[in-house]
């Protein structure tokens, strides 16, 4: 079971690796369009603003279309063969599922508890749990819906993609057959989604009144749910009514805070006295302080020979989280391989925010450093610098708490976080080794093809390969005859970091360029 979970987690890296660049671009563009920092230069009607805002909108692509990203990404990592076709099948099936939901809500919305389905969607609103996905007005099931549907399609693809139909029905073989099966499987799935999802949403919204009137405890519960529900997409039902809706103040806390910013800036009273309700916008602190602690725990628990590779993965993700408040690149690296860590993370994050609130730290602290600086630190520093000094002190303490807790749990339970592969140390090559390799160098013009050719040979040739997939760094292969597989040293001589053995299931540690190697590997197999 654990192998399956880890394989699933590895597949998540396919889309997650796209987050880092987009997050860094968002951090840069948000900074450059902040009027609190750049003044009139960043006014909405300037050329400066227009250029950077255009880049910002492009940078939001992977985050705004996160459902489609995971729908396509999961089959790439989990399909046993023809992963490109599996991704196409998953995309079509996911859209079909959402069209089914849209049609059912159009005709019977009141029956399912969505009486206002026909109402237009409003920005910064829960919109009765509805969202536009690829032009379809449907339930906001976030990545949970995406992973569920993609998982069903991957199962059908692996089982029926090669299924031989009668000659008269031959045109429906392959991808067409998988999509047909998905079509009829997802119709009842859509019905169940319409039946169950609104009730889940109602249960969450019933907690809002309690949280808004419960002081420090309410802040803890609020921040815990905001964090722990992120994988489901239901966290929107936690923060949106507070931040943009009427859960606490009529027009939402963000608008209220910005409207009173001048008053707070000129007052010497504590911010908690002036704006106690702003304790519900503290969840950006885990983005700024928790992420470095988690990243450092991943780094120190990684194998020494893998730390350089791990650092290359963690540094941009951590910078993205701290500056832009985009935590998915880092959080998703452990969400699927070690779900218990996600629960611990949510508990620690809530405790951090509740502690800050208890000691008087409040404000619109829901984003990263750039957002915090623009909405809090810069305009309020003169009279409230002690509050922000306290914020940094408490946050730094929790960064160390995160580090030690995550380090302990990773080592104690041997979680498969980045760089924890149990492989031998990679050794440096001598000049003699280099010259020897040059003499026997392949004539291949592609380094990926060269490695793929070697790995295919080492695995006993194409006739010995039963299945081939990959995760973030590994080529995962099931062989028919284990006796035909060459020694681990052969793979290491051909730039593999090592080989992990699970009977006939072998994992060749290739590195972050494993997608390119797998593509060449499958080409050599004739796929």
- Residue 286 · residue 347 · CB < 8 Å: no
DSSP β-bridge partners for residue 131:
138
- Residue 90 · residue 72 · CB < 8 Å: yes
- Residue 470 · residue 77 · CB < 8 Å: yes
> Max Cα separation, the chain?
83
C-alpha–C-alpha distance, residues 243 and 354, integer Å: 17
C-alpha–C-alpha distance, residues 268 and 257, integer Å: 16
C-alpha–C-alpha distance, residues 421 and 411, integer Å: 13
Tokens 């000691």 locate to 359
DSSP state of 165: P
Within the chain, how many helices (H) and strands (E) appear?
26, 6
C-alpha–C-alpha distance, residues 298 and 279, integer Å: 30
Distance of CA 129 to the CA centre of its chain: 21
- Residue 361 · residue 390 · CB < 8 Å: yes
Catalytic residue, from 471, 497, 510, 517: name it: 471
Q: Which helix (H) or strand (E) holds 160?
A: helix 142-160
CA 279 → CA 223, 272, 325, 361, distances in Å?
10, 8, 18, 8
- Residue 527 · residue 491 · CB < 8 Å: no
**Catalytic residue at 471?**
yes
| DSSP code per residue over 231-298 | GGTTTHHHHHHHHTSSSSSTT-HHHHHHHTHHHHHH--S-HHHH-GGGGGG-TTHIIIIIHHHHHHHH
Residue 194's CB is within 10 A of a number of other CB atoms, namely: 23
CA 293 → CA 23, 367, 400, distances in Å?
19, 18, 6
Q: Which helix (H) or strand (E) holds 138?
A: strand 136-139
Active centre residues (catalytic): 471
């Amino acid at each position: 079971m654990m192998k399956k979970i880890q394989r699933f987690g590895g597949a998540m890296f396919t889309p997650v690796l796209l987050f880092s660049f987009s997050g860094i671009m968002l951090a840069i563009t948000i900074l450059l369009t902040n009027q609190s920092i750049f003044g009139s230069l960043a006014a909405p009607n300037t050329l400066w603003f227009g250029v950077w805002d255009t880049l910002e909108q492009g940078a939001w692509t992977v985050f705004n279309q996160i459902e489609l990203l995971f729908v396509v990404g999961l089959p790439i990592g989990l399909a046993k063969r023809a992963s490109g076709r599996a991704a196409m099948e998953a995309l079509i099936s996911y859209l079909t599922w959402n069209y089914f939901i849209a049609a059912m809500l159009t005709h019977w919305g009141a029956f399912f508890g969505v009486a206002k389905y026909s109402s237009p969607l409003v920005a910064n609103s829960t919109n009765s749990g509805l969202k536009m996905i690829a032009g379809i007005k449907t339930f906001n099931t976030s990545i949970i819906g995406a992973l569920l549907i993609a998982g069903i399609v991957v199962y059908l693809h692996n089982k029926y993609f090669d299924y031989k139909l009668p000659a008269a029905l031959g045109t429906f073989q392959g991808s067409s057959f998988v999509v047909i099966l998905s079509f009829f499987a997802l119709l009842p799935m859509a019905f169940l989604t319409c039946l169950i999802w609104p009730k889940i949403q109602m249960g969450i919204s019933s907690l809002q009144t309690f949280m808004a009137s419960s002081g420090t405890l309410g802040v803890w519960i609020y921040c815990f749910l905001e964090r722990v529900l992120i994988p489901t997409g239901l966290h929107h039902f936690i923060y949106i009514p507070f931040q943009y809706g009427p859960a606490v103040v009529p027009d939402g806390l963000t608008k209220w805070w910005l409207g009173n910013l001048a008053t707070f800036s000129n007052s010497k009273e504590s911010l908690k006295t002036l704006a106690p309700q702003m304790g519900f916008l503290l969840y950006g602190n885990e983005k700024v302080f928790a992420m470095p602690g988690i990243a450092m725990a991943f780094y120190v628990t990684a194998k020494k020979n893998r730390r350089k590779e791990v650092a290359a993965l963690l540094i941009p993700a951590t910078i993205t989280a701290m500056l832009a408040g985009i935590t998915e690149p880092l959080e998703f690296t452990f969400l699927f391989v070690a779900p218990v860590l996600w629960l611990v993370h949510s508990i620690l994050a809530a405790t951090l925010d509740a502690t800050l609130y208890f000691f008087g730290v409040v404000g619109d602290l829901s984003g990263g450093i750039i957002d915090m600086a623009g909405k809090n630190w810069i305009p309020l520093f003169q009279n409230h610098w002690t509050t922000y000094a306290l914020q940094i002190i408490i946050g730094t303490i929790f960064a160390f708490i995160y580090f030690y807790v995550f380090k302990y749990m990773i080592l104690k339970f041997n979680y498969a976080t980045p760089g924890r592969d149990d492989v031998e140390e990679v050794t440096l090559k001598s000049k003699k080794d280099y010259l020897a390799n040059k003499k026997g160098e392949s004539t291949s013009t592609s380094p990926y093809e060269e490695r793929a050719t070697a790995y295919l040979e080492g695995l006993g040739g194409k006739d010995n390969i039963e299945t081939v997939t990959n995760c973030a760094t590994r080529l995962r292969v099931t062989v028919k005859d284990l006796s035909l597989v060459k020694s681990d040293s052969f793979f290491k001589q051909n730039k593999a970091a090592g080989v992990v053995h699970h009977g006939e299931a072998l994992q060749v540690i290739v590195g972050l360029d494993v997608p390119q190697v797998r593509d060449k590997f499958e080409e050599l197999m004739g796929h």
